[in-house]
Structure 1
Amino acid sequence: MRVPVSWLTENLETKDKFTPDQIADAFVRVGLEVEDVTPLGPVTGPVVVGRVAEIEELKEFKKPIRYCMVEVIEADDHDETMGPRMRGIICGATNFTEGDLVVVALPGAVLPGGFEITKRRTYGHDSDGMICSARELGLGDEHSGILVLPSGEAGAGDDAVELLGLDETVIELAITPDRGYAFSIRGLARELACAFNIDYRDHAAIDVPEPEGDAYPVKVEDSEDCLRFVVRRITGVDPTSPTPWWLRQRLMLAGIRSISLAVDVTNYVMLEMGQPMHAFDTPSIKGTMVVRRAEKGEKLTTLDDVERELDPDDIVIADDTGPISLAGVMGGASTEVRSDSTDILLEAASWNPTQILRSVRRHKLPSEASKRFERRVDTNIAPMALERAARLLRDHADGSIQPGRTDVGGVTPMPMVAMPIGLPDQVAGVRYPSGATVRRLQQIGCKAEVVTGEDGQPLVIAHPPTWRPDLAEPADLVEEVLRLEGYDSIPTALPPAPPGTGLTASQRRRRAVGRALAEAGYIEVIPFPFVSPTVWDALGLPHDDNRRRTITVLNPLEADRSELATTLLPSLLDALTRNVSRGMRDVALFHIGQVTLPKSQRIPVPAVAVDGRPKDGEIAALHAALPQQPVHTAVVLAGNRERAGWWGPGQQATWSDAVRAAEIVAEAAGLALTVQAAELPPWHPGRCAQLLVGDLAVGYAGELHPKVIDALGLPKRTCAMELKLDSLPLVDRRPAPAPSPYPPVLLDVALVVDESVPVAEVATTLHNGGGELLEDIHLFDVFTGEQVGEGKRSLAYSLRFRAPDRTLTVEEATAARDAAVAAAASRYGAALRS
C-alpha cells in the first residue's frame, strides 16, 4: 500500500514533526514491512500554473500535435513586476481544451529524472516550455494525458510546486494477510500512534444519524457470505462537479487513477477507513437488490467492459434483470455511475474473505476492494464510511443526503480472550514495566481489565475490537505487547544446544544425493508442488494408472493446479520448459522432494485440542489419517550433455545419461543398481530402463515419448529419471575404500551376442564370472554389421584386473578373463569376436 506522509501525519495528535525516515523506522518497529520510501521530485526552477488560451491543431503530422498558447504570470525582465505573458508550447496530448488550467514547466526547470526544460524548435514552431503530465511531475504513473487542474482551486501564475505538494514523500508498505486493518490510513495512523506513544485522530469517530426508514429495498439470501450490507442514497448530485485537487492528489500518490467525483470519493474513503464501497446509478437498478449466489449460465459485464461467465460459487448483487455486481470484486457496467448521474446509491458491505478470494482467482480479477475483503473488513465501520462518503458528495457536488439507510446484517462480535498478566514477560524473557500489558492492549483498541483468576493469579481480560479478528488467543495478545514494546528490547541470547546424534541416516543420505547430483552438473530447483488434472493426459498415462489417483486441494493457490502430485516429473518438466523459453538450450535439473500418495481408504482427520500436547493416541490417529508422502528424486535433461566449442561438436544428452544420473544417486546412497529394459509412460518404449536394487524396483529412467514431448512443448529427445529415494535401503556404515598399491592388468574383450541381450546383463555376468580379481568393467564400443551376422552385435569391454596383496601376473589375469567370457558364453551364447 502506498501512503503519502502528509496524509498519515495529519491524523496524529501531536505538534512534533516527524521525518519520512522516522515514520518508516516506526513502522518497522511495530512489525510492518516498509518496501520503499520515495520522495517526489526533485523539481527545481520555474514550474507554474498556466491557462490554455488558444489551441492550433497541426494536421500535417501523422500523430496528434497541437500548438498551444498558454497564459502564465511571471516576472518581467525589465521592471521585475508580475504580469501575464503568452507562451507558445508544442503538446501531443488531447485531453484538455481552451480555458483549462495546466501545469507548465518553463525553460530552466528540471523535472524528476534530471529532465531539463529548454526552449527549442520542433514541428515548425518554437516550444517555450512543456505542459506536464502527472508522471512527468513524479505524482504517479498516469501518462494518458496531461494534468488538468480544477478551476477555482488554482490560478494562472500560481507556484505549481507548492500547489501540487511536489515536496511530498510516499511510503510503500507490504501488508500481510493477517493485518487487514493496516490496509487503511486509519489503521496505519493507529500503528504510528502506538509507535510514538501519542494519540491519533480517528476519522471513523463521527456521528451517524439514526436512519429514517430504508434507503433502498435489499434482500440478502446468503447471510453466511454477506456478513453485513448497508446502502445510503444521495440525490441531486451535480455530475459536472470536479474532484477537489487535494483528493485527486492523494489518490494519485496512492496509485489510484481519478475517474469522477463519485467514484473518487468511494476510493478515497476506502483508503482512509479501509471500507471498500461501490457507487450505483440508482435509476439503473430495477427492483429490489438481492445478494445471492450466481445461477448457472448467468453472465455479467464488469466495469472493465469484459463479459464474464459467472460460477454458481460466485456471490453477486442482482436486481430484477440479473446480476449487476460481482460482490467484493468489481461492479457491473449496467449500473455504473455515468457522466450524467445525479441519483447515487452508495453501498458498503462485509464479505466472507474465502469467498472473495475464490472469485478473484476464478476470474483473475484482483482489485483494491478485493485485496481488503480478502483480509477481512471491519463489520462495524460500514455506516461510518457511508456517512463520510455521503458528506463529501454533499460538500463537493451539492448532493442531498436522504434520511433513510438500509442495514442488513450486523456487527460480528469478537470473543473475549483471557491471558495471565505475566505471560508476555515470560515469553520474551523481559520484565516489562507495570501496566505495560494493559496499556498496549488498550492502544490497539482492546477493552482490557485485570481480574483475579481461580488460582489467585492476576489475569488480563481483553475484548478485541471488531477490526482485529486475528486476536483470538493469548499468544496473539502476547505478540501485540512484544511488538509494541519493541522486539529490540528482547535479549538475543541463544539457548544452549543439547547434545544429540546429529542428522539422521536418511537426512545424511538426502544431502549426499543432492551434493552428488550437483557435482555432476545438475542444477537443483524447487518447482511448484501442485499439478493440473490435465497433465496426466499429456504424459500419456492410462486411465487406470495409479499415478492418476491424486488428492485435490480444496482451496488451491492456482485454480487450474488443484492436485497434489504423485510424481515429481510434471513440475520438473514445467521448470525445464520455463528455462528453455528464456533462452536456455542445455538444461539439466534435479529435485528431491515429497510426492503425495492417497491411501486406498480415506480416514477422517480427528479434532485435537490445542491447549496442550496431544496424547500419543491422538498423534497416531493424525499420522494414520495423513496420505503417504515418500521422498523421490528426479532429473530432467535437454540439449547437449557436453557443450560444443572450438574443441568440436557437442554431445546430445541421451537416455543413458538419465540412467547414469540414477547410478550417481545409488552410489551416493552406498548401493548398486541393476538396470533392465522396461516400458512405462511417459518414457519411450524402446528407450526406457527400470531401476532395481536387488529384486526391488525403485524407479525408471530414459528418453520421454515423442508424443509427450509434443504435448508439453519440450525440446526433442528430452530425458528424465525418477527414483524412489525412501525405498532405497539405508546403509548406515559404509566400509572405507582400500585401494590396492599394486599395478593393474588391462585386457579387452569383444563378445558377439544376440541384439536382444541387454548390455547391462552381459556386463553383470562378466563381472560375476571374473571373480574378485576383476576390479572394473567398461563398455567402449558397440558394432553391428555383416561381419558379426544378422541379428547379432559386438560388445567390446575394457576389463581391469588387480590383486589387493600382490602384483598380478598376466597368466592370472588371462585366466580370470577366460572365466568371465565362459560365464557369458554359458548364459547368453556369447562368442569371442575373431
Structure 2
Amino acid sequence: MRVPLSWLREYVDLPAGETGRDVQAKLVAAGLEVERVEQLGAGLQGPLVVGKVLTIEELEGFRKPIRFCTVDVGQANGTGEPQEIVCGARNFSVGDKVVVVLPGAVLPGDFAIAARKTYGRTSHGMICSGDELGMGDDGTGGIIVLPPEHEVGTDAIELLELVDEVLDIAVTPDRGYCLSMRGVAREAATAYGLPLRDPALLDVPAPNSYGYMVKVADPAGCGRFTARTVTGLDPEAHSPIWLRRRLQKAGMRPVSLAVDVTNYVMLELGQPLHAYDRSRIDGPIGVRRAEQGEKLVTLDGTKRVLDAEDLVITDNNGPIGLAGVMGGANTEIADATADPETGAVSGTTEIIVEAAHFDAVSIARTARRHKLSSEASKRFERGVDPNAASAAAQRTVDLMVLLAGGSAEAGVTEIVAPSGPRTISISADHPDRVAGVEYGRETVVRRLQEVGCDVYGQDELIVTVPSWRPDLTDPNDLAEEVIRLEGYENLPSTLPQPPAGRGLTERQRLHRRVGRALAGAGFVEAPNYPFIGEEALDHLGLEADDARRSVVRLVNPLADTEPALRTTLLPGLFGALRRNDGRGERDLALFETGLVFQPTGDERRAVRLPVDRRPTDEEIAGLDAALPRQPRHVAAVLAGARELPGWWGQGRPSGWADAVEAARVVAREAGAELIVRQDQRAPFHPGRCAAFFVVVDGAEVFVGSAGELHPRVTKAFGLPERTCAMELELDLLERAGTGVARAPHVSAFPVATQDVALVVDASVPAADVEAALRSGAGELLESLRLFDVFTGEQLGAGKKSLAYALRFRAADRTLTAEEATAARDAAVAAAVERTGAALRGA
C-alpha cells in the first residue's frame, strides 16, 4: 500500500514539520512494515508552468516527425513573448494547455534544462510528459494535456502536486484494514495520539424499495450488497488532476472517470467497488455460485471457464462479473465516442454502483483458481469492513455527481445477512501475563478502545471487536494489540531460567555425533524440505506395496507437486546432488539427518488446541496420539571421485563400498554392531546393494540399506552415472547400540597376526564367513579384516577366495605362537563347518 503523506494529512493533523521518515518510524513502532519512503520530486526546480500551444510547424527531412512549436507561457519567461520549443510528440494540438519547463529548471534525475540548438532550430525549454516529471504512467504515454480551465503561467509543480513523500507499506495478511488510507490514518492517529477524521462517517440515506433490484442467492458468500444509481452523467467528463495524481502516487493508473472514482474510494475507505453501465444490464442483479463450465469474459479480455465454487454477479443473461475479483466486459463503462457525421457524443450516462461484502475464503480461492489477483481480491481475501459498504457507495455517488454532473437517484438497495458483533472475553491482566509487563487495567482498556473496540467490565473484560478487524478472534490477539501500541521496544529482555541438569537428550547427542563423524569423513551436510510427491516415489522404483509409498498428505501443501511428507531422505539429497552437479561440482559427498513421517492411520483425529488457555494433559496426549510416527534417519549420496588424483596416485571414483563404509561410520557413533548382507531393494542396483541389520531385544531388525543406484533411478533423477547412496534409521541404531562410542583399549602386550585364505562358493556372503571366524576364534581375537577377494580358473567355477587378517592379543600376557595358531585353527574350523569353506592351498 502506497500512502502519500499529503493525502494522509487530510485525516490526521500531523505536526507541520513531520517528515515521511518520522511517520515511518512511528508506524514501524506500531507494528506496520513500512519498507521505504519515496521522495517524489526530489531535486525538481522550476520554472515549470502551464503553457498554451499557439502554433505548430512540422519540420521535414528528419527520420522521425519533429514539430517546432510556439507556446504562450505568460510572464513566466520574463518577457511575455511566446516560447519556441522543439518537440517530437504528436498527442497535442494548437490551443491545448501543456506543461512547459523553461531554461534554468532541473527535472528529476538531475536533468538540467537549457536552450539548445536541435534539428536546425533553437529549443528554449521542453514540453513535458508524465515520465519526464516522475509522475508515473498516466495511461497516455505522451505529453501531458491539461484541462482548458487552467491559466497560462500557473505553477505546474503545485498544480500537479509533484513534490510529495510516499510511504510504501508491506501490509501483512492480518492487517487488511491498512490497505486503505482510512486504516493507515487510524494507525497514524493512534501512534501520534491525535484524533482521526474518519472518511467513512458520511450521511447515508436509509435503504428503501426504490433502488435497483438485487437478489442474493448465497448470503454466506455475500453478506452485504449495496446498490446505488447515478443518471445524467456527462460521457465526456474526465478525472480532475488532483484525482489522477492521487491514484498515480498510490501506484494506480488513471483510466476513466467512473473507474478512477471507484478506485479512489477503494483506496480511501478500503471497500472495493464496481460500476456497471446500467443500459447494458438486463433485469435484476443477482449473486450466486457459478454453474460448472459457465463462461465469462472479464475486463482484461480473457474468456474464463467458471467453477461451481466461484461466486458471480449475474443478470438475466448470465454472469456479468466475477464477484470480488473482476467485472465482466459485457457491462463495462463505455468510453465517450463522437459520431463522425453529426458530432454527437455517446457513452455511458447511467451507472449502477456496487459496494458488496464477500466471503474472504471464497474470493481467495477464486483468485487463485483463475490466477487473477486484483486490487479488489487482495482486499477481500484479507478482510474488508462490511459496515463501510454503504458509506463507500455514498462517497462514490457524491464524487460522480460532483465531477460528472450526474444526479443520484433516490433509490437505495441494501441487502444485509443477519449477523451480530463479535465479542471476546479476556482477563484485564491477560496482556500483562503474556508480555511479562504490568500494564494495568486502564492501559489495557485505553489501548483496546484506540483500535476501535468497545470494552466493558472490570477484572473480566467483554470486548466487542470493530467490524474492520476480522483478525481479532482470540484473547491473545487483543493482548498483541496492547503490547504493540505500548511499544515492542519497551518489553524487557529476560532470559529464561532453565532448571539445572537438563542438557541434550541421548537422541540429540547421537544426532550431533553422527553429523560430526560424517563431516570428518568428507561429507557435506545438505538439509532439504521435508516434502515429497508421487513422482519422486515413482522415480525411486518402489513397488506398489512398499511402505515408503504410504505417506501423510498435507491439507495445505506449499506446492501441488509435493503434497505429502517424506518417508525417505533420498529424493531431497538427489535434488541437492543434481543442482550441484549442474553447477559444475562433479565430486560430491552429501549427507542429511532428519525426520521421516510414517502414517499410523490416526492423523485425521487431530484437533485444534485452544489458545485462550493452556491445553489439558488429555488434549495434548490426544494430539500426540494423532501425530504420524517420526523416526530420525540419516542418508548420504556420493558421486564423482572419492579420492582425487595427484602426485600421490591416480585417485579413485566413489563406489558402493564407500556408501557401506558411511553406514559403518554412523553405526560406530551409536556403538552398534552392524550386520551387512547382500540384498535387492529399490532404489539400488540388484547386484550392488547391501542391507543392514542390528540386534534389538535379541532379534535382528532391518535398519537401512546402501549401494549403487539403479541406472533407471539415476536417469529419472538426472544424477551422474554410478551414483551411490545410503540410508539408516538412527533411532533403531540408538536402541541397538551402547549409547556412546567407546575409546579403543591400548594393550601393553604385542599382537599376533595370522592370515587365512578360505575358498567358498561364490554365493556365500563374506559377512557369514566373517561371523563364523569370529565365533570360532574366541576371546583372543582383537580384530578381523577382509583384505583380498580373488576369483580365477584355478579355484574352479562358482568359487571365490576370501583372505582375512586376524589379530590376536591377550590382556594379561604375551601370546605364544602355539596359542595364536590354535585360535586361528579354531576360527577356520568354525568357518568350514558353517559355510563349507576350504582352506586355500590345503
Amino acid at match of 2:31: G
Q: Which moved more, 1:385-394 or 1:644-653?
A: 644-653
Amino acid at match of 1:493: T
User: What is the aligned counterpart of 1:362 among 369, 374, 383?
Assistant: 369
Change (3 A) 1:219 1:82: same
Structural mapping, 1:175-190, within 5 Å: 175-190=171-186
User: What is the aligned counterpart of 1:88 among 86, 89, 108?
Assistant: 86
Question: Shift in Å at residue 194 of structure 1?
Answer: 0.9
Q: Which moved more, 1:141-150 or 1:715-724?
A: 141-150
Q: Which moved more, 1:49-58 or 1:206-215?
A: 49-58
Amino acid at match of 2:204: V
Q: Could you tell me how far apart the structure 2 residues matched to 1:71 and 1:170 are?
A: 36
- Residue 669 of structure 2 contacts residue 740 of structure 2 at CA under 8 Å; is this kept in 1? no
Change (3 A) 1:439 1:745: same
Question: Shift in Å at residue 565 of structure 1?
Answer: 3.4
- Residue 83 of structure 2 contacts residue 124 of structure 2 at CA under 8 Å; is this kept in 1? no
User: What is the aligned counterpart of 1:302 among 291, 298, 302?
Assistant: 298
Q: Could you tell me how far apart the structure 1 residues matched to 2:828 and 2:100 are?
A: 94
Q: Could you tell me how far apart the structure 1 residues matched to 2:591 and 2:71 are?
A: 67
Match of 2:401 in 1: 394
Question: Shift in Å at residue 16 of structure 1?
Answer: 4.1
Match of 2:475 in 1: 474
- Residue 56 of structure 2 contacts residue 70 of structure 2 at CA under 8 Å; is this kept in 1? no
- Residue 228 of structure 1 contacts residue 411 of structure 1 at CA under 8 Å; is this kept in 2? no
Structure 2 gaps of 5+ residues are 337-346
Residue 632 of structure 1 pairs with residue 639 of structure 2 = no
Change (3 A) 1:294 1:29: same
Which deviations, in whole Å up to 9, do the C-alpha atoms of 1:229-250 show, x marking residues without a partner?
A: 2232333333443333333333
For the residue of structure 2 that corresponds to 1:381, the secondary structure is helix
% same residue: 50
Q: Could you tell me how far apart the structure 1 residues matched to 2:105 and 2:560 are?
A: 51
- Residue 603 of structure 1 contacts residue 624 of structure 1 at CA under 8 Å; is this kept in 2? no
Match of 2:358 in 1: 351
User: What is the aligned counterpart of 2:218 among 222, 225, 231?
Assistant: 222
Q: Which moved more, 1:426-435 or 1:166-175?
A: 426-435
- Residue 183 of structure 1 contacts residue 372 of structure 1 at CA under 8 Å; is this kept in 2? yes
- Residue 747 of structure 2 contacts residue 811 of structure 2 at CA under 8 Å; is this kept in 1? yes
Which deviations, in whole Å up to 9, do the C-alpha atoms of 1:684-727 show, x marking residues without a partner?
A: 43444333223211223344444444444455555444333333
Match of 2:333 in 1: 337
Q: Which moved more, 1:269-278 or 1:360-369?
A: 360-369
Residue 378 of structure 1 pairs with residue 385 of structure 2 = yes
- Root-mean-square deviation (CA, aligned residues, Å) is 4.3
Residue 19 of structure 1 pairs with residue 19 of structure 2 = yes
Match of 1:597 in 2: 598
Match of 1:454 in 2: none
Change (3 A) 1:366 1:124: farther
- Residue 72 of structure 1 contacts residue 156 of structure 1 at CA under 8 Å; is this kept in 2? no
- Residue 599 of structure 2 contacts residue 629 of structure 2 at CA under 8 Å; is this kept in 1? yes
Q: Could you tell me how far apart the structure 2 residues matched to 1:212 and 1:811 are?
A: 116
Question: Shift in Å at residue 204 of structure 1?
Answer: 0.6
Question: Shift in Å at residue 209 of structure 1?
Answer: 1.4
Q: Which moved more, 1:349-358 or 1:601-610?
A: 601-610
Change (3 A) 1:669 1:207: farther
Change (3 A) 1:178 1:633: farther
Match of 2:341 in 1: none
Which deviations, in whole Å up to 9, do the C-alpha atoms of 1:124-168 show, x marking residues without a partner?
A: 998887776656654458899346354247666655544444432
Change (3 A) 1:524 1:738: closer
User: What is the aligned counterpart of 1:727 among 728, 732, 743?
Assistant: 732
Change (3 A) 1:74 1:144: closer
Question: Shift in Å at residue 483 of structure 1?
Answer: 1.9
Change (3 A) 1:447 1:758: same
Question: Shift in Å at residue 31 of structure 1?
Answer: 1.7
For the residue of structure 1 that corresponds to 2:227, the secondary structure is strand
For the residue of structure 2 that corresponds to 1:691, the secondary structure is strand
Match of 1:737 in 2: 743
For the residue of structure 1 that corresponds to 2:253, the secondary structure is coil
Q: Could you tell me how far apart the structure 1 residues matched to 2:518 and 2:98 are?
A: 64
- Residue 778 of structure 2 contacts residue 823 of structure 2 at CA under 8 Å; is this kept in 1? yes
Amino acid at match of 2:703: V
Change (3 A) 1:804 1:561: same
Change (3 A) 1:735 1:235: same
Q: Could you tell me how far apart the structure 2 residues matched to 1:298 and 1:14 are?
A: 51
Change (3 A) 1:490 1:752: same
Q: Could you tell me how far apart the structure 2 residues matched to 1:744 and 1:299 are?
A: 87
Q: Which moved more, 1:649-658 or 1:617-626?
A: 649-658
Structural mapping, 1:729-808, within 5 Å: 729-730=734-735, 731=737, 733-734=739-740, 736-740=742-746, 756-758=763-765
- Residue 153 of structure 1 contacts residue 245 of structure 1 at CA under 8 Å; is this kept in 2? no
For the residue of structure 2 that corresponds to 1:391, the secondary structure is helix
Question: Shift in Å at residue 202 of structure 1?
Answer: 0.8
Q: Could you tell me how far apart the structure 1 residues matched to 2:572 and 2:205 are?
A: 58
- Residue 751 of structure 1 contacts residue 833 of structure 1 at CA under 8 Å; is this kept in 2? no
Match of 1:444 in 2: 451
For the residue of structure 1 that corresponds to 2:482, the secondary structure is helix
Which deviations, in whole Å up to 9, do the C-alpha atoms of 1:459-486 show, x marking residues without a partner?
A: 4332221112233343333322222222
Q: Which moved more, 1:17-26 or 1:790-799?
A: 790-799
Question: Shift in Å at residue 197 of structure 1?
Answer: 0.8
Q: Could you tell me how far apart the structure 2 residues matched to 1:804 and 1:305 are?
A: 90
User: What is the aligned counterpart of 1:268 among 238, 251, 264?
Assistant: 264
The structure that has the greater radius of gyration is 2
Q: Could you tell me how far apart the structure 2 residues matched to 1:21 and 1:488 are?
A: 18
User: What is the aligned counterpart of 1:418 among 416, 425, 428?
Assistant: 425
- Residue 120 of structure 1 contacts residue 127 of structure 1 at CA under 8 Å; is this kept in 2? yes
Change (3 A) 1:634 1:162: farther
Which deviations, in whole Å up to 9, do the C-alpha atoms of 1:311-337 show, x marking residues without a partner?
A: 323222233443333322333333333
Which deviations, in whole Å up to 9, do the C-alpha atoms of 1:625-677 show, x marking residues without a partner?
A: 33333333344455555678999988655444444443443333333433333
Match of 1:48 in 2: 48
Q: Which moved more, 1:709-718 or 1:767-776?
A: 767-776
Q: Could you tell me how far apart the structure 2 residues matched to 1:632 and 1:124 are?
A: 79
Amino acid at match of 1:563: A
- Residue 59 of structure 2 contacts residue 68 of structure 2 at CA under 8 Å; is this kept in 1? no
Q: Could you tell me how far apart the structure 2 residues matched to 1:134 and 1:650 are?
A: 67
Match of 2:340 in 1: none
Q: Could you tell me how far apart the structure 1 residues matched to 2:812 and 2:52 are?
A: 103
Q: Which moved more, 1:171-180 or 1:469-478?
A: 469-478
Match of 2:239 in 1: 243
- Residue 43 of structure 1 contacts residue 109 of structure 1 at CA under 8 Å; is this kept in 2? no
- Residue 219 of structure 2 contacts residue 417 of structure 2 at CA under 8 Å; is this kept in 1? no
Amino acid at match of 2:374: S
Which deviations, in whole Å up to 9, do the C-alpha atoms of 1:9-68 show, x marking residues without a partner?
A: 32103554422222111112212222223323533455735667658699986xxx5534
**How many aligned positions are there?**
822
Q: Could you tell me how far apart the structure 1 residues matched to 2:515 and 2:145 are?
A: 62
Q: Could you tell me how far apart the structure 2 residues matched to 1:788 and 1:666 are?
A: 35
Structural mapping, 1:673-752, within 5 Å: 673-694=674-695, 695-730=700-735, 731=737, 733-734=739-740, 736-740=742-746
Q: Could you tell me how far apart the structure 1 residues matched to 2:836 and 2:262 are?
A: 85
Question: Shift in Å at residue 198 of structure 1?
Answer: 0.8
For the residue of structure 2 that corresponds to 1:369, the secondary structure is helix
Structural mapping, 1:457-496, within 5 Å: 458-496=459-497
Match of 1:455 in 2: none
Match of 1:38 in 2: 38
Q: Could you tell me how far apart the structure 2 residues matched to 1:774 and 1:47 are?
A: 100
Q: Could you tell me how far apart the structure 1 residues matched to 2:140 and 2:589 are?
A: 46
Question: Shift in Å at residue 444 of structure 1?
Answer: 1.1
Q: Could you tell me how far apart the structure 2 residues matched to 1:638 and 1:9 are?
A: 64
Change (3 A) 1:600 1:190: closer
Residue 168 of structure 1 pairs with residue 164 of structure 2 = yes
Change (3 A) 1:752 1:459: same
Q: Could you tell me how far apart the structure 2 residues matched to 1:563 and 1:323 are?
A: 37
Q: Could you tell me how far apart the structure 2 residues matched to 1:320 and 1:279 are?
A: 18
Amino acid at match of 2:178: A
For the residue of structure 2 that corresponds to 1:698, the secondary structure is strand
Which deviations, in whole Å up to 9, do the C-alpha atoms of 1:470-524 show, x marking residues without a partner?
A: 3334333332222222233333333433224222222222333344444555554
